[in-house]
Amino acid sequence: AEHQHTRYNALRDDWVLVSAHRVKRPWQGQLEKPPPEDVPRWDPNNPLCPGATRANGEVNPQYEGTFVFPNDFPALQPDAPEPGESDHPLFRAAAAQGVCKVMCFHPWSDLTLSLMSLVEIRAVIDAWAELAVELGASYPWVQIFENKGAMMGCSNPHPHCQVWASSFLPSEARLEDRTQRQHLSQHGVPMLLEYAEQESRRKERVVVENTDWLVVVPYWATWPYQTLLLPRRHVCRLQDLLEGERDSLASIMQRLLIKYDNLFEVSFPYSMGWHGAPTGTYLKEDCGHWQLHAHYYPPLLRSATIRKFMVGYEMLAQAQRDLTPEQAAEHLRSLPEVHYKRRAK
């Protein structure tokens, strides 16, 4: 807890430098602007609101629940041409086709998942699973992710996420596929299933848990308050979750996100995303080495205005963090599960 050391990340096959003593150093660097607290519930100029007109001229329906539509500025398109053949191995290119969608969680712009009801969160989970099935029928990778807050590059406060389906396995997916496959081959049990059992027994990095799910600050965490959301049983894909598991997922997501917001009493920024077994042609293959999981990567370190920067040593050498995962987990675990905006005055 007091001395620097490195920790191995079995899921990514790399290492992180833990320098817990550095969190005590004075800070004279960049201070971030806290997120606005006065977001209007409905704004006709917000392209994600019900009834608003988007950049391509389409008008959103007066939706009352979740709403999915094609991204107006997609990073992937289904009909992109293939690049020409390379004349040298150092200048290779490959085809990249896909589909990008946006999913609004709720019609109100002034809500986030942490402030939504369990029924509303469950509707989001069901919509995620439906998209995973729909797009996964054709594409090998369906990446569901949410960038929350301007600090994470989100340009719109309306509660929403993105879903990108690609004709290729992205780098992180390839890496996790390899490490999980190797672990199952060497140890006879899926890596993250064994990891969840170990963390549940040790308790020191557990943030919240219930019958079906476990949230931990992983042993190898890079970001200050990074967490990993894991099912307790062996589940390969989001769409494989049982009804009860979807209900308990809504509950544990709400509990985690309330703790995040309560940490610095601010709408907590993060990037999160689901990882599960590949789809498309992989649906016919044995993907038992995979275990469904979600990553949460929040940047805040000391307060609502002081973030962790991944620069210098992190970019040129390896990841480094300024407090131990155990300290971060203890801090999150001790926070109340009633949102600070809803506490009695």
| Residue 153 annotated as binding site | yes
Task: Please tell me whether 23 is known to bind a ligand.
Answer: yes
* 308 annotated ligand binder: yes
CA–CA separation, 187 vs 268, rounded Å? Answer: 38
**20 carries a ligand binding annotation:** no
169 close to 278: Cβ distance less than 8 angstroms? yes
* CA neighbor of 242 nearest in space, from 129, 342, 152: 129
Q: How many CB atoms lie within 10 A of CB 171?
A: 8
Flag whether 162 is marked binding. Answer: yes
- Do the Cβ atoms of 210 and 248 come closer than 8 Å? yes
Closest CA to 148 of 99, 114, 192, 196: 114
268: annotated binding-site residue? no
Is 295 known to sit in a ligand binding site?
Answer: yes
Closest C-alpha to 293, from 235, 243, 225 = 235
CB–CB of 105/247 below 8 Å? no
The reply to whether 22 sits in an annotated binding site is: yes
CA distance 173 to 185: 18
Q: Is 154 annotated as a binding residue?
A: yes
Is 239:290 a contact under the CB 8 Å cutoff?
no
Active site residues: 160
176 known member of a binding site: yes
25 is in an annotated binding site: yes
The answer on whether 259 is annotated among ligand-binding residues is no
- Decide if 239 contacts 133 (C-beta within 8 A): yes
The pair of three-digit structure tokens given for residue 192, joined into one six-digit string: 């993250």
Beta strand 14-18 with 319-321 is: parallel
Is 320 labeled as ligand-binding?
A: yes
Residues tagged in the binding site annotation: 22-25, 55, 71-72, 147, 153-155, 162, 176, 275, 293, 295, 308-309, 313-314, 320
Residues annotated within a binding site for Fe cation? 176, 275, 293, 295
Annotated binding site for UDP-alpha-D-glucose: 22-25, 55, 71-72, 147, 153-155, 162, 308-309, 313-314, 320
